[in-house]
Copies of this chain bind each other. A is one copy, B any other.
Amino acid sequence: MNDSKTLTTIGFDADDTLWQNETFFRLTQDRFTDLLADYAEADHLHDRLLAAERRNLGHYGFGVKGFTLSMIETAIEVTEGRVAASVIAELLASGREMLEHPIELLPHARQAVERLSGSHRVLLITKGDLLDQERKLAQSGLGDLFHGVEIVSDKKPAVYAQIFARHGAIPDQAMMVGNSLKSDVLPVLDVGGWGVYVPHGLTWALEHAEAPVGHARFHSINSLGDLPDLVDSLT
Question: Which chain A residues have a beta carbon within 8 Å of chain B's beta carbons?
Answer: 56, 59-61, 65-66, 68-69, 72-73, 76, 79, 81-86, 88-89, 92, 95-96, 99-100, 129-132, 134, 151-154
Contact = CB atoms under 8 A, between A and B. Distances in A.
B72 A95 contact: no
A173 to B, nearest CB: 21
Contact of A92 (B65, B69, B81, B84): B69
A151 B131 contact: no
Contacts of A56: 96
Contact of A72 (B59, B72, B100, B151): B72
Copies of this protein in the complex? 2
A contact face: mostly helix, strand, loop, or mixed: helix
Contacts of A72: 72, 88, 92
Given A60-B131, A88-B88, 4 more contacts: A61-B130, A65-B69, A72-B88, A76-B88
A61 B61 CA distance: 15
Q: Which 10 A-B pairs have the closest CB atoms?
A: A61-B131, A65-B65, A131-B153, A81-B85, A130-B153, A59-B99, A76-B85, A130-B130, A76-B89, A83-B85
8 contacts: A59-B100, A61-B131, A65-B69, A82-B85, A129-B130, A130-B130, A130-B153, A131-B153
A32 to B, nearest CB: 15
A152 B153 CA distance: 12
B81 A86 contact: yes
Nearest to A95: B69
